[in-house]
Structure 1
């Protein structure tokens, strides 16, 4: 571990450390914000989401109170950050320094090595959000033993059987509905996967083999497969007219940042595909003119016809719903 970092962590009250990661505890005092705490420990205000994600007691990152104690995750020697997820520790590359749009020229047709700018290998497609154009075809009728919640290895019954083409051994994707975007189109979260263990004419039983959240009676289900990720070999810079905006931020958050997912209204009908990257901009009105500043970068990880799920790869400021996006990096496989 870097000696300077070790000294800082020790001075901050290091409670536990390992070769892989370090954590300290910060006690909130009057006037503290996550923005300031992040700068104190990391020398970088924009790492505040790491602290937010690592502390479940923080319901709203804008509201923290004196006396609260927060874990502060540490850094690896190569300056990559570590954050915690349901699957454990995930490495995320440190953000690149980017300038506002008017000083950030895009070089058309330039190929960029994906090793330095690809986030695909760090993403776990677990409780991921996805936009569907229609409601999943089945519901969970009940959970074995009349439990309120189901988890891995529990048996569930769904209202779909051989009459709808369901077969023994099929994989069933389990969904929780989060929000309606327009008409029948809505945002769902994949909460788990189950394997069909018994098929009847109109209903079937399935065993949950992977769960990412508690699963309840009434949640949706549909025959399908687990989403795959392919890692691009290179990116091609391109000046495109494929524009959209961030239309949804999960978990009712008002803002988001590096390492978190969003929904954008850019999809395959506009020639976008998995792995492509979008630049994120903030538009503000100044003296009757619209100013457009570069504030971050996202990578498309699940692409639908008109909407895609993206992960924020870089954020220079907090990312808001309504911030605009433009496809600028084409993934080459």
Structure 2
């Protein structure tokens, strides 16, 4: 009987404690604690899981890796003129594509995703997670133009990548996607039945869109760029010819004038938009949501290899879920070498050699800027999700 009484007492005691805990949890107010962050955790070696070979690569979702801050990440950083979002993310994170996971979005601030020179970024712990926050009371951002002072515009926000590295590509396209080329306007005639013309000459253009820009780049399509997986034509390498401004719109043939000439323009040369004024460079560095397994198919200037801050094209685009801001790891192609002792050959695994951020995407084609390159990047090198294994 005494044994039963002791057991019953212990049971009632445990139940009472549990009831008290539940009551406390129900009545405790929910608060958000913001405190200075401890020293950043050491670099994590976690990698994204390899895609299943049985599933379509473009359709497979990617599981995010744990966030890893650099051991040298500052607790506070003042944004400098000339900074880029890629550079700031690299300063804080071991894996810069994880920026969206650590940037604290303050919905009470206009354009909370934009960062300006002079902003103070701080590493803080919010609800148990390390995050990067903007100082809520920064000095007024101004641009000084002589004696005048005005509040900074959206254009003053830092870009994702260094714009000077892609300006020439935007103004003088050297590759045109196959879909874009199929609908591109073209020069149908010059004055006085000329077959070639230079700067200042009038030109008649066919297929101009009614709502198109008045400034165009004139290019001459050359070598076809094919998809190594399907042999489909993705686009054409193009030679910059010059520039053209539209003077009079006409449903049959609009009148334009050649404004500059890198070489003499010919009848049949194509017109493509000049994208420098329309280019939006404030995308967020991030990893693709889907598994990507593509290849480098073109390098700007018709080079055989690319180094840092050069433009490349890959054979994956919007159809694969890609968008501006997506980061991809570049891996050298597998090499086959002779085994010095055993008969036969050995296929060496592909090695990471760089990082590319996409800044323009079409349906089947994307253009990216090489941000890092430990070795030159070549045609047919693999592009995969950061941390993934190339085929």
Does 2:271 correspond to 1:246?
no
Gapped runs of 5+ residues in structure 2?
A: 1-81, 88-93, 104-114, 116-157, 227-231, 337-344
- Cα 1:120–1:326, aligned 2, differ >3 Å: closer, same or farther? farther
- Cα 1:126–1:171, aligned 2, differ >3 Å: closer, same or farther? closer
Q: Which residue of 1 aligns with 2:330?
A: 280
Q: Distance in 1 between matches of 2:212 and 2:282?
A: 35
Larger radius of gyration: 2
Does 2:203 correspond to 1:156?
yes
**Any residues of structure 2 matched to 1:89-104 within 5 Å, and which?**
none
Q: 2:355 aligns with which of 281, 290, 297?
A: 297
**Any residues of structure 2 matched to 1:1-333 within 5 Å, and which?**
109=98, 111=100, 118-120=161-163, 122-124=165-167, 125-128=170-173, 129-133=175-179, 134-143=181-190, 146=194, 148-151=196-199, 153-160=200-207, 166=210, 170-182=214-226, 185-189=234-238, 191-200=241-250, 202-209=252-259, 213-222=262-271, 226=275, 228-232=278-282, 234-237=284-287, 240-285=290-335, 288-328=346-386
Q: Distance in 2 between matches of 1:277 and 1:302?
A: 12
Q: Which residue of 1 aligns with 2:70?
A: none
Gapped runs of 5+ residues in structure 1?
A: 1-90, 97-104
Number of aligned positions between the proteins: 226
Contact 1:176/1:220 (<8 A) preserved: yes
Contact 2:216/2:243 (<8 A) preserved: yes
Contact 2:325/2:358 (<8 A) preserved: yes
Q: Distance in 2 between matches of 1:217 and 1:226?
A: 23
Q: Which residue of 1 aligns with 2:40?
A: none
With normalisation by structure 1, the TM-score equals 0.54
Q: Distance in 1 between matches of 2:272 and 2:162?
A: 29
